[in-house]
Amino acid sequence: MTWTDEEIKQLEAASTIQNKPFGPDKATFTEDNPAWEVVVDGRLYIRGGNGTASRWYVNGTKNGGHIRLGNQEYAVDYRAVSDPSEVQAVTDTYQARATSAILTW
């Protein structure tokens, strides 16, 4: 998906999106859960806590789905990332975000 400059700004400012992959019928969402997201080079990425075994990952890569950011919902194609440099760029961005969000009481 190609994002507008305004959408990219909204995605970069958000800490999560709602992740809504379709089930096998490609019409019913199997989940509607928040997911941490990052933007790298104008592309949106989410990462499964259980890797490729995550239920949403399996359903999303097979069936597509939607994401919701605020009040806007977008149809998306979930695409596995295997390029090592792309994986590293996403990992670095996740780590930078996590490091900057540490709190204590």
| pLDDT, tens only, 25-59 | 999 999 999 999 999 999 999 988 888 899 999 99
State the pTM of this model: 0.87
Q: What confidence score (pLDDT) does residue 51 get?
A: 86
pLDDT at 8 over 70: yes
Q: How far apart are CA 33 and CA 55, in angstroms?
A: 12
CA atoms within a 13 Å half-sphere pointing along the CA-CB vector of 23: 7
pLDDT at 101 over 70: no
Q: What confidence score (pLDDT) does residue 97 get?
A: 82
